[in-house]
Structure 1
Amino acid sequence: MTANKQLKLTLIRSLAKRLPVHQQCVRGLGLTRRHQTVTVAATPENLGMVRKVSYMLQIEEVV
């Protein structure tokens, strides 16, 4: 993916009782509360974090 692509991420599961590394990935993406939505660039760093915690996120590609 190129750097100009964006991803819209929504946290759909709680951070409670998750691995500390997964909690840090979600916070690194800018999410702090359930049902919060952020838009991030589709960089390799962000895609790696999204892949790690994808079970907690709703992911949409912004055109």
Structure 2
Amino acid sequence: MGMIKITQVRSYIGRPERQKRTLIALGLRKNNQSVEVEGTPQVLGMVNKVKHLVSVEEI
């Protein structure tokens, strides 16, 4: 898979610590912030854990 764009669409306030750390590991710290990352299996697994907080689109 190529590059993917991940955008945080919901706040992580009140979420479990594990989900907060996953968002930070993806490089997301604020709402509506976007990052472009390589679509590796590790990144896709992290996205799957916080799929209710982010939106993903393939570039």
| Unmatched segments (≥5 aa) in structure 1 | none
Identity of aligned residues (%): 37
- Runs of 4+ in structure 1 deviating by more than 6 angstroms, as ranges, are none
Report the CA distance between 1:58 and its aligned residue: 1.0
Q: Alignment partner of 1:55: what SS?
A: coil
2:35 is aligned with what amino acid? V
Equivalences, count: 59
| Unmatched segments (≥5 aa) in structure 2 | none
- TM-score, length-normalised on structure 1? 0.89
Structure-1 separation of matches of 2:51 and 2:3: 16
- TM-score, length-normalised on structure 2? 0.95
**2:27 counterpart of 1:30:** yes
Aligned counterpart in structure 1 of residue 11 of structure 2, from 11, 14, 18: 14
